[in-house]
A and B are shown apart, each in its own frame.
Chain A
Amino acid sequence: MHMLTGMQRCVWAILLLPYLLTLSIPLDCREEQGSLSRCPSISQEKLLDRVIQHAELIYRVSEESCSLFEEMFIPFPLQLQRNQASYACITKALPIPSSKGEIQQISNKWLLHSVLMLVQSWIEPLVYLQTSLDHNDAAPEMLLNKTKWVSEKLISLEQGVVVLIKKMLDEGMLTATRSEQGLFQYDVQPEMLESMMRDYTLLSCFKKDAHKMETFLKLLKCRQTDLYNCA
């Protein structure tokens, strides 16, 4: 059953890949005077929709990758430890709301910034994950492709969120802050088992955070369209 659904999702993601790739128009349009604007202007609603689509797909693919990894490399008893390992998620220190009540109380600005923080904090760890999996000879091609795709989409998601912040909150252009680099430290000489577990931890943590991003953005959209029902 798990395998079936995993396969289903793999197919889903692969089918949606071209669609997503077409969506990846650079969103960081700089307003340069007199230059050919290659970035088409996009409405706020459309931009938000696109960002949400990105987040949904990123979550779906990350979930598939995590399941795949789990089935292949993690023995069953250790699968339970992911819950414990989530304790060691890199983003645990981020001041991000974690309950619906909290989310409903915070403002749009805070939501968007939370999303941005999450996205930015995961860009580098995903790169590390990619290299780690490349070193792992037993990792299947599909898994590598998925993780690569996810890290690419994450970057474009970051761009989208930046533009969205600029549009919605009328803030200035935010440069990608890389202060979260310090959060992530990895061993230089990982042992095989530990590297496996670490990758697994990374994947499950990322999956969780992707779900978080997706939920935040959807709540934000609900607020944009119908403020009263999305209390």
Chain B
Amino acid sequence: MKTAFFGRLVPAGLRCPSSEMICAVFCVFHSNFENIMAVLSSSSNLLLLLLISFLDWLSTPGSAFVTGRDHVTSSAPVEPHITECTSRNQETFRCWWSPGNFHNLSSPGTLRLFYLKKVMPTSEWKECPEYIYSNRECFFDMNHTSIWIPYCLQLRSQNLTYFNEDDCFTVENIVHPDPPVSLNWTLLEISPSGLSYDVMVNWEPPPSADVETGWMRIEYEIQYRERNSTNWEALEIQPQTQQTIYGLHIGEEYEVHIRCRMQAFTKFGEFSDSIFIQVTEIASKESTFPLTLVVLFGIVGILILIMLIVVSQQHRLMLILLPPVPAPKIKGIDPELLKKGKLDELNFILSGGGMGGLPTYAQDFYQAEPWVEFIEVEAEDADTGEKKDNQGTDTQRLLSQRISRHINIGFPDDDSGRSSCYNPDLPDQDTLMLMATLLPGQPEDREASFNAVERAPTPERGERPLVQTQTEGPQTWVNTDFYAQVSNVMPSGGVVLSPGQQLRIQESTLATEEKTQKREIKHKWSEDIEDNNQKELQFQLLVVDPEGSGYTTESIARQINTRPSSPVPGEGYQTIHPQPVETKPGATAEDNQSPYILPDSPQPQFFAPVADYTVVQEVDSQHSLLLNPPPRQSPPPCPPQHQLKAIPAMPVGYITPDLLGNLSP
């Protein structure tokens, strides 16, 4: 049979004649062929089988329905065949047949359907249990339906049997479940952009399928498409009865349908009826948008308002949050007395009523308060070395100070608050008074000043019982540039400035001097104090220096230092003309410094009672501080606007805090 395809038989062992070319080739070919055939012999069965099957498949016009009708392509005469067998619920099934082209067999009854259940080799063909001729259908009910057992069907006419071997099946493999029912959808959510949305689709399993008992396990497949589209989009097959469709577009209409099949099987049932999903735009979305804008702008506006308030009321806020530094306290006086309404007591104290106990009291009071600002009187150290050498004499003691204190009262060089009559540099009289009155005095100096004052009339240089205490005083003095403490006031009107006790100026002598000069107030204490080495007492009171900067500091002090006792021109100074302390032993006259305020006309009332402060009553035309101005002394041509008004109200030099505000530049 192998060689039948290849022509005449050639014995295998033939030796090919070498002479004849064609023959030789043919011989070779044959021999080779036989070898090849030997190799192929083992697989011939397979090939044959395949070939036969192929031919057989081609020859059957109506191929087995099991494979699907899409394989039917032949146009050969169609004999009666089974078109389809299907089961809806795995409990019953039905089959349809067709007579094919044999129209004479189309009438009912001419074709009969037989089935075989291959339970045992000896099973036999049985006829269809229930015919439905109108449909050419054979229905197998539950009694005749067996699962997992192969069925084979055949059609029989009166003479012939049309049987296709391939028309055999097991019922579970032909199950096409009914489509699910009650398909509906609910909107899940709309995306924030408002362009797409998600939908939850749910349904019920087909009623014919016995899912509850577990007879059938069903899985579902949802497909959807846009109205105008032709392609269906299929979602994942899953056994739940609900599924979410994501990403549908607003405004478009969608068509959705569903089908199902048995799990782990291949055959889907029919599709269900379609439902339509459409979600139109929701206009309410827009309303939230302006609302958020309004809220946002409101918040921003409020913030700006708060900022403006803070900026505009900055000062007040600063006052509230950071209270201003309290005004310097008068050493030795209970700050309670400084409050409003207690002028009498304060005046009493300042006038010396409580003098005896005041120093110590005050000393105790303020010793522990370093933050209390006290005006320091600092002796100018032209020669620092001499400081310590001057402890011996009274003057020295008076003048020596442990702490050099500076009294700098500086006036800013601006015109604010001053009248045109005045020299631009002339400070307010109030300010002057303030300065003078607020000069804190060291308690211990007072006694010394007292002593000094008592001796003031003796301008001669000599040992003066200077204040002794001085040095023991605690260093409560703070270096300030604005105040000097007046520890005592001479009966003659001179002011004793502490701590440097050199301040005790013999006002009498000085008064005369000043009177002659009328210019400046010098602390010419050089007559009184023989010791020049007190430089501690550098006293740079005041300072207004119209020519130069606002106030005089050391530079001017030095300047002053160098000057002899000749009075400095008045226009250069305002009040006190600090005289440098000369440390050279040689110098006598104006060596001392002791800053002091020289009153023109001493007034008795300022004598003892006022230990620490004095009131600058006036400033004369020469810009000298007049502590006790003579009655005849008339105020300057242009009476100062501000100052004296307040003065009469205060018998004793003392500025209330509210006045302080007026005086500050």
Contact = CB atoms under 8 A, between A and B. Distances in A.
A91 to B, nearest CB: 9
Contact of A75 (B50, B166, B169, B265): B50
Given A86-B118, A100-B147, A208-B170, A78 B213 contact: no
A8 B172 CA distance: 21
Contacts of A59: 264
B66 A80 contact: yes
A80 B64 contact: yes
A80 B67 contact: yes
Interface string A33-77: 000000000000000000000001001100100000000000101
Contacts of A84: 118, 150, 165, 168
Contacts of A56: 217
Contacts, number: 96
A218 B213 contact: yes
B371 interface: no
Contacts of B26: none
Nearest to B168: A83
B169 A83 contact: yes
Interface string B164-197: 0110111010000000000000000000000000
Nearest to B143: A101
A219 interface: yes
Q: What's the dominant secondary structure at chain A's contact region? A: helix
B53 interface: yes
A9 interface: yes
Given A2-B266, A218-B215, A221-B214, A83 B66 contact: yes
Interface string A196-231: 000000000000110110110011011000000110
B53 A222 contact: no
Nearest to B92: A100
A5 B213 contact: no
B276 interface: no
A219 B57 CA distance: 40
B122 to A, nearest CB: 12
Interface in A79-101: 79-80, 83-84, 86-87, 92, 98-101
Nearest to A205: B148
A106 interface: no
A92 B64 contact: no
A179 B318 CA distance: 104
18 contacts: A59-B264, A77-B50, A77-B54, A77-B56, A77-B57, A83-B169, A84-B150, A86-B118, A92-B120, A98-B148, A99-B142, A100-B142, A100-B147, A101-B91, A212-B147, A215-B214, A218-B215, A219-B213
Interface of B: 45-46, 49-50, 53-54, 56-57, 64, 66-67, 90-91, 118-121, 142-143, 145-150, 152, 165-166, 168-170, 172, 210, 212-215, 217, 237, 263-266
Interface of A: 2, 5, 8-9, 56, 59-60, 63, 75, 77-80, 83-84, 86-87, 92, 98-101, 193, 208-209, 211-212, 214-215, 218-219, 221-222, 229-230
